[in-house]
Amino acid sequence: MKYCFRHGTIFLPLISIPALLVIILAVPSISIGDDNEESQPLLNELEKVFTALNANIKHVAILDLQPFNYDRSRYILVGWGISEDRSFNGDSNDELFGVFVVNSELTQIEEILDIIPTPRWLDYELLIERVTGDSVIVIGCGLTYDDVPIRRAYIWEPYE
């Protein structure tokens, strides 16, 4: 089980080593307009989804990634997008989180489970708590004060 809440010196979520390596090596954060469009297809997919909802989104990143390897290999991904200047102008939709189903090659978003405007500007964490054969559970909280907690469950059909 993952916890997004900070206690004492523990401030990073517990994620699997393979997922961490994929995040660090394969899909680093980019700014829209970077020249690595062909080498970063998943980040480009995130950018398309977020900018379709809000044209102010200029930076995207992958926050969490978990495999689901039954029958057909796929991943659950938590993505993040924010406006270029990263300053709050009264619209929580200028910082978005998304929960997605991604193909096994980490190149395409197959399904959007949810898009969530930030509950706390530049001070929120959203993580995957659990992935099962019929549901995905994500948890979130404010980083500074452990406030505005959320826990959302999504029904999904991984075998379709």
Q: Give Cα 34 distance to the centre of its chain.
A: 20
> 145 or 109: whose pLDDT is higher?
109
For CA atoms 13, 17, 22, 24, the dihedral sign is: positive
Report pTM: 0.77
CA atoms within 13 Å, Cβ hemisphere of 15: 23
Q: Is 4 domain-assigned?
A: no
- Which residue segment(s) compose the domain that 70 sits in? 17-155
**Domain contains 11:** no
Instruction: Report yes or no: 143 and 124 within 8 Å, Cβ to Cβ.
Output: yes
136 pLDDT higher than 90: yes
Q: How far is residue 129's CA from residue 159's CA, in Å, rounded to a whole number?
A: 21
- Whether residue 26 lies inside any domain: the answer is yes
How many domains would you assign to the chain?
1
Q: What is the pLDDT of residues 67-89, one digit of tens each?
A: 987 767 899 999 999 999 898 88
d(CA 47, CA 112): 13
Could you report the per-residue pLDDT of 100-109, keeping only the tens digit for each? Answer: 999 999 999 9
> Is beta strand 95-103 parallel, antiparallel or unpaired with respect to 74-83?
antiparallel
10: DSSP letter: B
